[in-house]
Structure 1
Amino acid sequence: MMIFIKHKYLLMIAAWMIITSVAGGLATEIGPWYFSLKQPDWKPPDWAFGLIWTIIFILSAAAWMIAFNNRPTRSQKISLVSLFVLNSVLNILWSIFYFRLHHPDWSLIEAGFLWLSVLGIMVVMWPIRKLAAFLMLPYLIWVTIAMCLNWETLVLNPGAY
């Protein structure tokens, strides 16, 4: 029975990872508007973003799997699923605001909620298994960096949105 449950979790987590990454990728439109923006000197090259997000999603999926395999309470399971769904919506919404609607101002505000959703996941994971919470740390760090990039883009491009 336990093997079946672990596979069920694996499929759910893999589906979350695939749906969120594909939807976020489809929402990301790098075109003339994006290339016209002045970027901070410290911005990573565009090709690095896909690699960074792949690593973050793999670590997040591993964290979720570790937490679910360490016998969380029903309430903790519901909280984690709810927070990961919320996180996915916020992740995709950021790309829509920034890349589709060309509103880095809206995406910066939204990124604060994205950051809080990652922190919330970590807080729920902490009592279940600290390793799971630590595996979410790169995601929190990356969202912090993305918020700084987003802010600097606003500063360097007044009126570009």
Structure 2
Amino acid sequence: MIKSWMIIGAITFIVMIGSFFITPRDIKWFASLTRPRWLVFEPLIPIIWTVIFICGAASANIVWQKNPGSLITWLLMGLYLLLEIITVTYIPIMLRFRSLKRGEIIGSVGAILGVVLTICVLPISPLAAALLVPYLLWSPIGAYTTDELIKLNPQDA
């Protein structure tokens, strides 16, 4: 029998990996942008996001286990999926339009949705809500970094 964590994990993995296939070929543009001197952790960003997605999948699985198949649980699963899709579209949208501002908007929408999801999940499982904290902590860092990129590269805002 297929376990819920397997399905949730597979969906998380497919959406996360799928973003690599929809990334436009405008990576050269992004690579040419001036970066803040303090952005020394950039090579770690894929690892950081992988950990955040694993935490999100674990959170979703906990919520599913509390009340599997209920309407509320399905709606929350939809919110988890929407949050992941919004998160992985940051780079493709920013690259496709060569617009840091569009990336900042997508990131801000994700941050707001992350807060909403955490608030919705908290009464169901404090542990599931706690597993969303890495997303809540990292999102402002990403937004701040994008804002700094905009300041350093106003022609690409």
TM-score, scaled relative to structure 2: 0.88
Distance 1:120 1:69, change over 3 A: same
Residue type of the partner of 2:51? I
1:10 counterpart residue number: 5
Q: Distance in 1 between matches of 2:13 and 2:54?
A: 10
| Offset, 1:108 | 0.8
| Offset, 1:30 | 7.1
1:76 counterpart residue number: 72
| Offset, 1:116 | 1.4
2:14 counterpart residue number: 19
Which of 120, 129, 138 is matched with 1:124 structurally? 120
Aligned length: 156
Q: Distance in 2 between matches of 1:92 and 1:54?
A: 11
1:33 counterpart residue number: 29
Distance 1:112 1:31, change over 3 A: closer
| Offset, 1:149 | 0.6
Distance 1:23 1:73, change over 3 A: closer
| Offset, 1:15 | 2.2
Structure 2: where are the runs of 5+ without partners? none
| Offset, 1:137 | 0.5
Q: Secondary structure at 2:117's aligned position in 1?
A: helix
Which of 124, 137, 155 is matched with 2:133 structurally? 137
TM-score, scaled relative to structure 1: 0.86
1:92-111 residue pairs with structure 2 within 5 A? 92-111=88-107
Q: Distance in 2 between matches of 1:80 and 1:42?
A: 37
Q: Secondary structure at 1:128's aligned position in 2?
A: coil
